[in-house]
C-alpha cells in the first residue's frame, strides 16, 4: 500500500484527511506544502500539476492509480475502500444524509469563507487591516457554529451523530481548532465543545493535530 498526503499542518482540510487516515489505521507519507513561504507553495507550477485549484490537500493512492483533491471526496474514498473499524458515513440513507448535512455545514458554508486566499484578497484588494480580517473570519465561523449547534441538538450524543465517530466529527474538530485561532469563544457552543473534547481524547484525532505534524511551526 502506498498512500501519500500533500498537506499543511494548520490547514483544516488537511487535518480532516489526517484524522480519517488515522481512524482507518492507514500508514501514509505526509508531504508538507507550505501555504505561506515562497508566496505559497500551493501556487507553484509543480503543485498545480497535482491540484489546479491551488489548495491542499491532495491525496495519492499509488496502488489504485488515483489522485484526489477535495478532503470530503478523499475521506469518502477511504471510507468506502476501508470500511473498518467503522464507517464514517453511515449505511442507512437517512443517517448518511444527516451526517453529510452536518459535515457540509462546516466544509461548504463555514471554512471557505475564512480560507487563506479569501483573507488575502480582503487584505490586498479591499484594504482590510489585521483586525478587520480577523473580525471577518470570526463572524463567519460564529455564524456557522450557531447554526451547527442548533442542528446538533436533535441527534448529538458523545459525538456529533450519536455515539460513533462520523464524517461530521472529522469536520468539526479542525474547524474548532481554526475558530480558536481567530479568537472565537468556542465554549459558548456547548455541544460543539463537548464533541471536540470527546474526539481529542481519541488517539486518531490527537495524532492528527496540527502541532503533532512534522511541518508544525515551520
Ligand X SMILES: N[C@@H](CCC(=O)N[C@@H](CS)C(=O)NCC(=O)O)C(=O)O
198's grid cell: 470527546
Contact code string over 89-108 relative to ligand X, x by CB under 6 A = ------------------x-
| Closer Cβ to ligand X, 12 or 198, answer by number | 12
| Closer Cβ to ligand X, 173 or 198, answer by number | 173
In the list 71, 110, 166, 186, the residue contacting ligand X (rule: CB under 6 A) is 71
Piece of the chain touching ligand X by CB under 6 A; list 51-59, 96-104, 151-159, 201-209:
51-59
Residue 117 engages ligand X in binding (rule: CB under 6 A): yes
Residue 42 engages ligand X in binding (rule: CB under 6 A): yes
Piece of the chain touching ligand X by CB under 6 A; list 49-57, 77-85, 146-154, 161-169:
49-57
Nearest approach, Cβ of residue 2 and ligand X (Å): 21
| Closer Cβ to ligand X, 11 or 198, answer by number | 11
Give dist(CA 97, CA 31) in Å, integer: 32
The residue of the chain with the least Cβ separation from ligand X equals 117
| Closer Cβ to ligand X, 81 or 121, answer by number | 121
- On whether the CB atoms of residues 182 and 138 are closer than 8 A, the answer is yes
| CA-based nearest residue to 116, from 48, 218, 14, 3 | 14
Give dist(CA 177, CA 210) in Å, integer: 9
| CA-based nearest residue to 16, from 71, 84, 98, 97 | 71
Q: Cα-Cα-Cα-Cα dihedral of 42, 47, 49, 50, to 10°?
A: -80
DSSP string, 47-60: HHHH-TT--S-EEE
Residue 11 engages ligand X in binding (rule: CB under 6 A): yes
Give dist(CA 25, CA 18) in Å, integer: 10
**Residues in contact with 73: Cβ distance below 8 Å, sequence separation at least 6, in sequence order:** none
| Closer Cβ to ligand X, 55 or 198, answer by number | 55
Residue 12 engages ligand X in binding (rule: CB under 6 A): yes
Residue 40 engages ligand X in binding (rule: CB under 6 A): yes
Q: Where on the chain is the footprint of ligand X (CB under 6 A)? A: 11-13, 35, 40, 42, 54-57, 70-72, 107, 115-117
Amino acid at each position: 500500500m502506498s498512500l501519500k498526503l500533500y498537506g499543511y499542518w494548520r490547514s483544516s482540510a488537511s487535518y480532516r484527511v489526517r484524522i480519517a487516515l488515522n481512524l482507518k489505521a492507514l500508514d501514509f507519507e505526509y508531504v508538507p506544502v507550505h501555504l505561506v513561504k515562497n508566496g505559497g507553495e500551493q501556487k507553484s507550477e509543480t503543485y498545480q500539476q497535482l491540484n489546479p485549484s491551488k489548495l491542499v490537500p491532495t491525496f495519492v493512492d499509488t496502488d489504485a492509480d488515483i489522485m484526489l483533491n477535495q478532503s470530503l471526496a478523499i475521506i469518502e474514498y477511504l471510507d468506502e475502500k476501508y470500511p473498518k473499524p467503522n464507517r464514517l458515513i453511515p449505511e442507512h440513507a437517512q443517517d448518511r444524509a444527516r451526517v453529510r448535512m452536518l459535515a457540509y455545514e462546516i466544509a461548504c458554508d463555514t471554512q471557505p469563507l475564512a480560507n487563506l486566499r479569501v483573507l488575502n484578497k480582503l487584505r490586498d484588494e479591499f484594504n482590510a487591516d489585521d483586525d478587520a480580517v480577523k473580525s471577518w473570519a470570526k463572524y463567519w465561523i460564529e455564524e456557522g457554529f450557531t447554526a451547527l449547534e442548533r442542528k446538533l441538538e436533535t441527534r448529538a450524543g458523545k459525538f456529533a451523530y450519536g455515539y460513533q465517530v462520523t464524517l461530521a466529527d472529522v469536520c468539526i474538530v479542525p474547524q474548532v481548532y481554526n475558530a480558536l485561532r481567530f479568537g472565537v469563544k468556542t465554549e459558548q457552543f456547548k455541544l460543539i465543545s463537548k464533541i471536540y473534547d470527546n474526539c481529542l481524547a481519541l488517539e486518531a484525532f490527537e495524532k492528527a493535530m496540527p502541532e503533532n505534524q512534522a511541518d508544525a511551526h515551520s
